[in-house]
Amino acid sequence: MAGIACGSQIILCDLPIRLDTYQGCSHFCRYCFVRKQYDISNIKPVKCAGALRNFISGKRPETVNWCDWDIPLHWGGVSDPFQPAERLHRASLQCLDVFADTGYPFVFSTKGQLVVEPEYLARIRASRCVAQVSMVCSRYDQMETGAPSYDERLGMCEKTGAKRLARDRSCPALSAGSQRRRFEELASLAGCGRLRRGFRRYEVQRREGRHGKTRG
Ligand code: SF4
């Protein structure tokens, strides 16, 4: 569900309250768990800047009013806030205005290049936020056919002026409900020798000697 909502992993997640300014996502990642819930090609904006302002001021709907502190929101739990549709609808820009205005903390997840355009970047720099840009390697481009390529995403990170680029080899998008076959396909594409199942996620580890030492 888009807008402000709780994820299904509320008791496990550090950021259980999410914000989604879109329903659907044009990146069409083959591993996307949301594809199992509804047709993500049907993309609709969710204009929720007013609801966001209410949430920040303490007027929280029943589904999230168990939380009465300034918990950082996770923006982009079931969609990408800066996917191409944003250029037309500008639902995310309106929420960025609220975040920049209030200083409320948030973490956003994106693969969308719009985020580095000046009007977006200026608001992001005026906000208290952490950016997450998921990427593994260029071999994954064929699994994320609607998203900017791996190299384009690296360029995005540079443009944001990010001080630190975490090279995370884990795949949090791969929930326990996904199929083993899909994991093996991903591991093969990334040049990984084996998969290690962690708590609620699978970690991919690269073959020793090809990309450096395998870490346990
Ligand atoms: S960017 Fe995220 S929400 Fe969009 S298709 Fe990929 S995994 Fe799903």
Choose which residue among 21, 22, 27, 28 to substitute to test ligand 1 binding: the one with the highest number of ligand atoms within 8 A of its C-beta: 27
- Counting atoms of ligand 1 from 1, which one is nearest the CA of 78? 3
Supply the pLDDT for residue 127: 94
Cα–Cα distance, 120 to 45 (Å, whole number): 17
Pocket test for ligand 1, best of 21, 32, 132 (most atoms within 8 A of CB): 32
Tell me the per-residue pLDDT of 122-139, one tens digit each, with 9 for 90 and over.
999 999 998 888 888 888
Ligand 1, pocket residues at CB < 6 Å: 25, 27-29, 32, 34, 40, 78-80, 111, 173
Q: Is the dihedral of CA 172, 178, 181, 185 positive or negative?
A: negative
Angstrom distance (rounded) from CA 208 to CA 157: 27
What is the residue type of 122? Answer: A
Burial of residue 150, with CB atoms counted within 10 A of its CB: 0-12 exposed, 13-18 middle, 19 or more buried: middle
Residue with CA nearest ligand 1 atom 3: 79
To test the ligand 1 pocket, which listed residue (20, 35, 44, 111) has its Cβ within 8 A of the most ligand atoms?
Answer: 111
Q: Give the residue, by CA position, lying nearest to ligand 1 atom 7.
A: 32
Q: How far is the centre of ligand 1, averaged over its atoms, from the C-alpha of 54 (Å)?
A: 27
- What atom in ligand 1 is closest to the CA of residue 34? 8
Give per-residue pLDDT as tens, 47-80.
Answer: 999 999 999 999 999 999 999 999 999 999 999 9
Instruction: State in Å: Cα 27 to ligand 1 middle.
Output: 6
CA of 52 to the centre of ligand 1 (A): 22
- Give this prediction's pTM: 0.78
Per-residue b/e over 95-107, b at no fewer than 16 CB within 10 Å? Answer: bbbbbbeeebebb
Burial string for 185-211 (b: 16+ CB within 10 Å, else e) reads ebbebbebeebeeeeeebbbbbeeeee
Residue 84 has pLDDT above 50, yes or no: yes
Residue nearest to atom 8 of ligand 1 (CA): 32
Domain positions in the chain: 3-166, 169-216
Tens digits of residue pLDDT in 4-61: 998 777 788 889 999 999 999 999 999 999 999 999 999 999 999 999 999 999 999 9
pLDDT tens-place string over residues 146-180: 999 999 998 888 777 654 444 443 444 444 444 45
